[in-house]
Amino acid sequence: MNKELSLKFGQLIREIRLEKKLSQEELAYRADVHRTYVGMVERGEKNITLENIHKFCKGLDVSMEFLFQKLK
């Protein structure tokens, strides 16, 4: 697992979530994932799958393209 990439991705998810004024619990509900999983992803503790990236994008109301552009 690339820890640096996981941390960067998690920080980006957190940044977008806070910009949209969502709690971790609300994002979890919108993305159909467990609320503790959101925290683990934001802290870079999980190597997230494409399926879950897609869920997070739906929950944050952003495109995958937008998310990956921000990761550059």
pTM of structure: 0.92
Return the domain boundaries, the chain: 3-71
Cα dist from 1 to 5, 16, 44, 50, whole Å: 9, 23, 10, 15
CATH class given for the domain over 3-71: mainly alpha
pLDDT digits (tens, 9 = 90+) for 5-60: 999 999 999 999 999 999 999 999 999 999 999 999 999 999 899 999 999 999 99
Question: What sign does the dihedral 22-25-51-13 (CA atoms) show?
Answer: positive
The one-character DSSP state at 72 is: -
